[in-house]
Amino acid sequence: MEAFGKRLTEARTRKGLELDQIARETNIARRYLEALEAEDFAVFPGEPYLLGFLRNYADSLGLPSGELITAYKNFKIQESPVPLRELMPDRPLSDIVFGRGNGGKVLAISLTAIAVAALLGGGFLIGSRLLSSMPEKAVEPVRSPVLWTVDSKGFSERVYAGDTINVSSGGTAWSLVVEETSPALKLQTPAGSRVIELGQDLSIDLSGNDEPDVRIFVADLFKNDPSRGAEVKIDASPAAGAGDDAAPQETPASDVTLASETAPAAAPGTAAKQTVLFESGSAYPVTMNATFRGYCLFRFESDRANREERYYQKSELLTVQANNGIRIWASNGNAVKIQMIAGGKTVDLDISRPGEVVVRDLKWIKDDETGRFKFVSMEIE
């Protein structure tokens, strides 16, 4: 089978794509993309990261990721060295030390006598000289903690344990303290401790008003080497940046109301069922908070543009913002608790039964009869 690194390079070249462009679209650091094409496995902090990045990179190029992963595993099997003990014939210890003839025995006895004499006569002197001539171990300088500041242009730096990041949002300043950078980034925030994995994008509500104040993305870290820190990108205005055409008009929070009743089920033969969560005079930016109760493969797409997928474990949190809507997919709907926030109003959403795969559209639709907007949870079958 052809080397998977060469297939990645050729597919990217055919599509006319640069590594920086793919890094932005897949949220995979450029150095990991280069390592995949060069088949340099030592760069990755662990094999699970290598396999995950390889799968995502192959999918983004339209290549069969399963074949490339199989090629990698076959390559690893071929490169694994045969244990030395399997190549050596079994021999009795006496044969190895003394040989099979009397000459070997005489030689072994002679060498043993010489070694004993050397130890008794000059061992102490030799040891003393060796100790006195050994160079002192160089003391590595200790890095002092750094105080970082997030400005209006955002923040992209490599941080280390002990550093402090000052963030200002909405006229209020907060301090985020870096506790760990390996095997994941751990921050102490006013909202509590937060753990962010490599490649994860997390929004945090620091003020407690159910609106995200800061968005943090971990672009690079070394799972087994905390001394090398973590590359972190921070945006103090996570809801900003959408184009004017995509952004719905903002309305006062008082205009958003919780729906008092559930819309009726769709007629037989239709593909969806709707549940109304909010009503408003116009569409309003929404926030989805997902709390995971157990192991779950979860995928989401925000405003039909930003798609992400990964495995989540118990107690992990995910925050997603959108202007118009979010599509979600979960391998076990009961393993995740969804909370939707719009205009200061919050509603909990139970999405399925235990073990059930669920696909939902959470979006604003306009009621032509009343002229008002409804935010609905639409089941996709």
Name all domains of the chain by residue range, CATH numbers in brackets. Answer: 4-79 (1.10.260.40), 147-235 (no CATH), 253-380 (no CATH)
| pLDDT tens digits, 185-195 | 999 888 788 88
Rounded CA separation 183/180 (Å) = 8
Which of 309, 296, 301, 302 lies closest to 352, judged by CA?
296
pLDDT of residue 305: 76
Q: Give whole-number Cα distances, 37 to 3, 149, 222, in Å.
A: 9, 36, 20
Contact (Cβ atoms closer than 8 angstroms) between residue 249 and residue 235: no
> How many CA atoms lie less than 13 Å away from 210 in the CB half-sphere?
15
pLDDT of residue 270: 40
pLDDT of residue 20: 92
Q: Is the peptide bond before 183 cis (omega within 30 degrees of 0)?
A: yes
Containing 302, the helix (H) or strand (E) segment is: strand 296-302
Pairing of strands 325-330, 317-322: unpaired
pLDDT of residue 33: 93
| pLDDT tens digits, 298-334 | 889 988 877 888 888 887 888 888 888 899 988 877 8
Phi, psi of 27 (to 5 degrees): 60, 30
Question: CA-based angle 130:132:136, to the nearest 5?
Answer: 105
The SS3 of residue 117 is helix
Residue 292, both tokens: 């995971």
pLDDT of residue 13: 94
pLDDT of residue 266: 40
Instruction: For the chain of 381 residues, list the mean pLDDT of each consecutive stretch of 10.
Output: 83 93 89 92 87 91 91 79 54 54 56 66 56 54 85 86 87 88 90 82 77 84 88 73 38 58 40 76 84 86 83 84 87 84 82 76 86 86 67
Pairing of strands 192-196, 172-180: unpaired
| pLDDT tens digits, 109-168 | 666 767 666 666 555 555 556 555 555 555 556 788 999 998 877 788 999 999 999 988
